[in-house]
Amino acid sequence: MVTVDLSNPLDISITLEASKNNPRAWYLDIPKIEPVKTDNWIGKVSEGASVNFNNISFNPHAHGTHTECIGHITPEFHSVNEVLKNFFFITEVISVVPENAGEDRVISANQIKNLLDGKHPEALVIRTLPNMESKKVQDYSNSNWPYLKQEAATFIREIGVQHLLIDLPSVDKEKDDGKLLAHKAFWGYPQSPRLNATITELIYVPDHIEDGRYLLNLQIAPFHNDASPSKPVLYHFL
């Protein structure tokens, strides 16, 4: 019998807020959270309304922790809300120092293999090092962030990982001419597409969370879209 400590949730999502204290990528500005305004009413209690009533404008891929399905890269529509039907997974947290490759920094298959040391988890959380708190507010546009090499994503798929989580805006290189090699390798696209597999990006794993085995609760908002804001939470095994 496996016991889990539900009293100590470890949230590895990044809060979305309408300010520069919000991560962003893909050349977009900050999200907007604004009260609804009509000719004679504003949805804000401090302005005399009975309720706060906000519109929110953001892009799930660019403005915070999000979970995406294969519909992110296919001409056919797939909704992450339809493909993600289970929400608890045995996961491993690993910390990786990306390797230099010319002007790039990459995560290789050998690094993943050595850190997992024979483990085949349902989900894999990758924390890149160094692990600055500035990740939670960084503007990643034009930063050439580290990325997974194609063979690394292939290895992760081949050992049976269904859900991949990483603290970067994308598993792929920022400017790759649309090749999306890591996305395609992880999802087995187009040869053997894995419709139930997901990728979660722009997480943040604080330093006090040690590498090792956890129970992951992968929570998403019920958006009918290829991607949704998400709130992955880890729990210790006892």
Domain enclosing residue 133, as ranges: 10-14+64-235
Residue 23 lies in a domain: no
Q: Identify the CATH number of the domain in which residue 123 sits.
A: 3.50.30.50
Can you tell me the distance from the alpha carbon of 50 to that of 47, in angstroms, rounded to the nearest whole number?
Answer: 9
Residue 139 lies in a domain: yes
pLDDT score of 2 = 81
Number of separate domains in the chain = 1
Residue 63 has pLDDT above 90, yes or no: yes
Mean per-residue pLDDT, 218-236:
98
Percent of the chain with pLDDT over 70: 100
| pLDDT tens-digit readout, 87-141 | 999 999 999 999 999 999 999 999 999 999 999 999 999 999 999 999 999 999 9
| pLDDT tens-digit readout, 9-46 | 999 999 999 999 999 999 999 999 999 999 999 999 99
Can you tell me the distance from the alpha carbon of 13 to that of 22, in angstroms, rounded to the nearest whole number?
Answer: 12
Residue 87 lies in a domain: yes
User: Do 148 and 169 contact (CB within 8 A), yes or no?
Assistant: no
